[in-house]
Amino acid sequence: MKLIDSCEITVKSGNGGNGVVAFRREKHIPRGGPSGGNGGKGGDVIFIADRNLRTLMDFRYKRKYQAENGEDGRGKKMYGKDGQDLIIKVPMGTVLRDVESGAVMADLKEDGQRFVAAKGGKGGKGNDFFKNSVRQAPNFAESGGFSTERTVELELKLIADVGLIGYPNVGKSTLLSVSTSATPKIANYHFTTITPNLGVVTMFDDSFVMADIPGLIEGASAGSGLGLEFLKHIERTRILIHVVDAAGSEGRDPKEDLDKINAELASYSEKLIKKPQIIAANKTDLIYDQEAFEEFKAYAESKGYSVYPISAATHKGIEELLTAAHRLLAVTEPEEEIMPNINFESRSPEEEADYRDVHCGREGKVFTVSGKQLEKIFNSTNFNDSGSLRYLYKYVENSGAIDRLLEMGMEEGDTIRIFDYEFEYFEE
């Protein structure tokens, strides 16, 4: 069962409605005032995280998403209707990436968290808007503004809520297989599982993600066996189910198993051993010494753990165990995650053009260049580094600013000023 899901879709916002040019016509007024209404705003494409979704399955068949266009304005100062926003629901934990630039646009982690991935055109003003005391009959109106189209990659990484830990061969994968639709490899030898498997447990109208990991052994926290790398994984789960072979079918004492594994957790990290933990006492179908089992149960309970007797092989006790896990999750805070600082600016085409626009000016023999994007690049330029400077210069050159300055009369040796930085212009 593959639970790292990803897919690519294209989203398109709505065009803005055009403003219109219209004039009032009334019986006794030969030439009425302007009455062209504004166009409506184009719909945005908005992603919203929804806790009821678990996978990206829905996107497998529908790949194109488009918000409504805004309506054009009409005469009699009538506004065009705004286009409806298009809401796309995604599971919590979906990362949105802009395919063209490769930039992460958003990481929708919380229920209801939203992100505008494509802004609609803003809608043009009708000529009525442009009238003023000197310009009483403007015969122009604004166009509505274009839509934005973007290819977005959605990626969903399922993070397990519950981690199954325990010695090799105690039945962790079997428990996962009977609790979820996951089909991990199960076999009667140690280290059958070499990478974790994930599955979704459905309970009532809720669900949670469970993961098994390779078996832990003494010294796992120091690198013995396969466990070390996976201790990191379970550090991100919210609760642990500690699976023990309660029948001691391989000749070990379950009390010792419990203590040894917990000692490994403790020496790996404090966080891990403090995680809420319940015990699945597995293989009860093999118990022949009931007294020894009661002793184990009492021992674990004396250490503060709840013990759930189960038999993963015969499904006995599974329901009770999962209900307990579900209940525990409900009272356990989700793991805090440190996220990279995502700062993706979603701009409409108008804003984008404005952002990229480079302005040229002249003050005597000093030629000036400025712009919003230029300012960003300027602020991150290292003026002691020739590569960084060259990048800045290339940006200015590619923007067409140098050509424009030459048209404005710039000559060799004149000064170009970018914000507070000045340099002389020489032809290359």
Ligand X SMILES: Nc1nc2c(ncn2[C@@H]2O[C@H](COP(=O)(O)OP(=O)(O)OP(=O)(O)O)[C@@H](O)[C@H]2O)c(=O)[nH]1
Binders of ligand X in range 61-120 (CB under 6 A): none
Tokens, residue 377: 């690049």
Count, residues in the chain: 428
What ranges make up the beta strands (E) of 129-276? 149-157, 162-165, 197-203, 206-212, 239-245
Token pair 């203590």 is found at 259
38 binding Mg ion? (CB under 5 A)? no
- In the region spanning residues 311 to 340, those forming contacts with ligand X, defined by CB under 6 A, are 311-313
Q: Does 193 bind Mg ion (CB under 5 A)?
A: yes
Is 13 a residue that touches ligand X (CB under 6 A)?
A: no
- Minimum gap (Å) between residue 163 Cβ and Mg ion: 13
**Which pair of tokens denotes residue 392?**
């800045």
The reply to whether 173 sits near Mg ion by the rule CB under 5 A is: yes
Q: Please classify residue 243 by burial: count the beta carbons closer than 10 Å to its beta carbon, then call 0-12 exposed, 13-18 middle and 19+ buried.
A: buried
Answer yes or no whether residue 174 interacts with Mg ion by CB under 5 A.
no
CA atoms within 13 A on the CB side of 360: 17
Smallest gap from Cβ 215 to Mg ion, in A, equals 7
Token pair 């609609």 in the structure block, residue? 120
Q: Per CB under 6 A, does 355 bind ligand X?
A: no
123 is written with which tokens? Answer: 């809608």
Number of chain positions touching ligand X (CB under 6 A): 24
By CB under 6 A, tell whether 404 contacts ligand X.
Answer: no
Give pairs for 300-309: CB < 8 Å, separation 24+: 300/255, 300/258, 303/258, 305/242, 305/258, 305/277, 305/278, 305/279, 306/278, 306/279, 307/278, 307/279, 307/281, 308/278, 308/279, 308/280, 308/281, 309/246, 309/281, 309/284
What would the x/- binding string for ligand X be over residues 254 to 293, using CB under 6 A?
----------------------------xx-xx-------
Write out the binding residues for ligand X, residues 186-215 only, by CB under 6 A: 186-188, 190-193, 212, 214-215
Judged by beta carbon, residue 38 or residue 173, the one nearer Mg ion is: 173
Q: Least distance to Mg ion from the beta carbon of 172, Å?
A: 5
User: Which region, judged by CB under 5 A, interacts with Mg ion, from 18-26, 166-174, 233-241, 316-324?
Assistant: 166-174
- Span between the terminal Cα atoms of the chain, in Å: 60
Euclidean distance between CA atoms 413 and 390, whole angstroms: 18
Residue 192 or 237 with smaller CB distance to ligand X: 192
Q: Least distance to ligand X from the beta carbon of 197, Å?
A: 9
Residues that bind Mg ion (CB under 5 A): 172-173, 192-193
User: Contact residues for ligand X (CB under 6 A)?
Assistant: 168-174, 186-188, 190-193, 212, 214-215, 282-283, 285-286, 311-313
